[in-house]
Structure 1
Amino acid sequence: MDVRSRELTVTYKIVPPPSTVTPPSLSQETTHRFSITSLPDLESKEDADSELKRYYASLRASIAEARTKLGEELTAWRDAVGNTELGKEKSVKTEADDEGEEENAEE
């Protein structure tokens, strides 16, 4: 059976505020690759159905692994940035609240 390998690739680039002290364990630009077993060329429908199920199971596992890895790294970045970005989030929330009040006033 000729099983070719494919991969899920995730790349991100973090641009923290200038005042952020970046821990040495974090990289601002990162690429991760997660292996996905791809389908071999199969003759029968039964074999294809079985292999397709295995492929999607492998894909789901790779996505779960990617979510976990990125979640850990992005949480570490959030902790490194700390309260520096807090003011930006409040202003966005205030704008959203203002829009909701305008919609209620029109009714």
Structure 2
Amino acid sequence: MEHIAALLLVVGCSNAMTACRELPAPVSVFETTTECTAARPFAVTDLQGQAQYVVAKCLAVDPALEDDYDRIIWNVRPDGTLDASLEISGFVVASNGARPEKDYLNQQ
């Protein structure tokens, strides 16, 4: 099984940086941060027509936690700098607390 070491986030904005949205990167996950960094300028070039201003950032992924990340938090500053991070929210998405558990110790 291959592990993910980096995620490429691409964001497109208006010239005034007042309206921004995530753009679909041609390839968004990488086995190394070096591969992500090398692909970043090509992704920006490929997506240039999708927004007036396109910025991208490689986010490091801890392979031990890759299945636990569930949010990407990002913000584009007025100067065009992209701040972003991967986070684990800690929220339970689904749970069935009413499920009866079988008590194997008390069975006869």
TM-score > 0.5 by shorter chain: no
Q: Give the number of the structure whose residues are more often helix, by fraction.
A: 1
Q: Give the number of the structure whose residues are more often strand, by fraction.
A: 2
Structure-1-length-normalised TM-score: 0.29
Could you say which structure has the greater relative contact order, defined with CA pairs below 8 angstroms and 6 or more residues apart? 1
